[in-house]
Amino acid sequence: MRATRRRFLKRSAALAAGISSLSVSAGGQTQALAGAPPAGQKPLVVNHDLHTHTLYSDGAHPIPLHILEGRAFELDAMAITDHFTPGSKIHDSEAEFDRYLSEIERERSGQHDLVVLQGAEATALDATGRISIDARHAARLEWVLCDLGGYSEGTLAKTPRDKTRYVENVLRTYLGLCDVPYLNVIAHPFNTGNTNPAALPDDYPRPLLRELAEKMAAKGKVFDVMNDTIYWFSRSGIAPRALTAQYVELMKVFVAAGVRFQASSDDHRTGLGNTRWSQIVMARAGVRQSQVVKPVQAK
């Protein structure tokens, strides 16, 4: 069952490049949110949430309710990605990790409404791309994310006072993460606005961003467009719409390089399936439908 699903995911990722048109039933709404798409391009349709939390880490709901909500909201797919970091349940206890996987398996197998991926969110440990999950645990998962967080030395932990060094460290970390073969997704990239100094999207030099974008495309690493990105800039003083504009410009570099994208709520704050902002910026950055990850269930 698991092996089949994994194979299917890999195949769907490869196939995603070939998908050019999908249902546009939500087109009116999407268009109203995002503005008219470029000439000849259909409105982008994204109906998944591939970064969410449950009570297995700092989410709000137990797995059964979480999946019921995904079904009620008529999502196509969701990924459950509880934290796999030092001190978290599924990281520290093998028994909890087993229980987590079997609970997702039990709840998802009793329904056919939506694809549910067994995932986790690891964290970067330093600026070389060392990561808090090993290959053995990752092999049991279908969707592995990695973020910058409180354990990420040289970026969000022990942040350099010099902003130039800080942004270089962030890019170096992400370049290192690209070399982790079992990593699927970089979670809410450039969440660097609540540090001192703050690094805003405009602070990242374009040539270095292009280098990262090309490596992410080559290595198949997915860019997570997280709905609550403003959270990570809430202490920086930047106005929300200014952040949106800067983030869109940054994303365009990744769009141009052919990187793939996912939308997410990072649910524990703004609600499962709430990807309104993600969809706005994906449309404005010109993300093509073929660049949107589309997990498909085997049956």
Q: Which is nearer to Zn ion, 52 or 236 (CB)?
A: 52
Site string for Zn ion, 216-255 (x = CB under 5 A): ----------------------------------------
Distances from the Cα of 226 to the Cαs of 54, 61, 115, 164, 229, in angstroms?
17, 19, 19, 25, 6
C-alpha closest to that of 85 among 130, 31, 18, 35:
130
How many angstroms separate the CA atoms of 174 and 141, rounded? 21
Scanning 31-39, 131-139, 199-207, 258-266 for contacts with Zn ion by CB under 5 A, the matching segment is 258-266
Scanning 103-111, 120-128, 199-207, 283-291 for contacts with Zn ion by CB under 5 A, the matching segment is 120-128
How many angstroms separate the CA atoms of 117 and 81, rounded? 8
State yes or no: residue 121 binds Zn ion (CB under 5 A).
yes
Site string for Zn ion, 160-179 (x = CB under 5 A): --------------------
Buried (b) or exposed (e) across 28-63, using 16+ Cβ within 10 A? eebbeebeebeeeeebbbbbbbbbbbbebbebebeb
Site string for Zn ion, 24-43 (x = CB under 5 A): --------------------
Kindly state the smallest distance separating residue 51's Cβ from Zn ion, in Å.
5
Q: Which is nearer to Zn ion, 46 or 217 (CB)?
A: 46
How many angstroms separate the CA atoms of 134 and 13, rounded? 23
Tell which phi-psi region holds residue 226, choosing left (phi > 0), alpha (psi between -120 and 50) or beta: beta
Spatial strand order of the sheet with 261-264 comes to 48-52, 77-83, 115-123, 143-147, 185-186, 222-226, 261-264
Scanning 57-65, 114-122, 193-201, 240-248 for contacts with Zn ion by CB under 5 A, the matching segment is 114-122
Site string for Zn ion, 51-80 (x = CB under 5 A): ------------------------------
Kindly state the smallest distance separating residue 83's Cβ from Zn ion, in Å.
7
Q: Which is nearer to Zn ion, 59 or 154 (CB)?
A: 59
Q: Which is nearer to Zn ion, 260 or 268 (CB)?
A: 268
Q: Which is nearer to Zn ion, 49 or 121 (CB)?
A: 121
- Closest residue to Zn ion, based on beta-carbon distance: 266
Kindly state the smallest distance separating residue 254's Cβ from Zn ion, in Å.
20
Where in 261-280 is the site for Zn ion (CB under 5 A)?
266
How many angstroms separate the CA atoms of 211 and 71, rounded? 39
The 10 Å Cβ neighbour count of residue 4 is 11
Scanning 12-20, 72-80, 121-129, 198-206 for contacts with Zn ion by CB under 5 A, the matching segment is 121-129
Scanning 4-12, 115-123, 157-165, 169-177 for contacts with Zn ion by CB under 5 A, the matching segment is 115-123
# chain residues binding Zn ion, by CB under 5 A: 2
Q: Which is nearer to Zn ion, 76 or 121 (CB)?
A: 121
Quickly tell me which residue has 């949107």 as its tokens: 292
Site of interaction with Zn ion (CB under 5 A): 121, 266
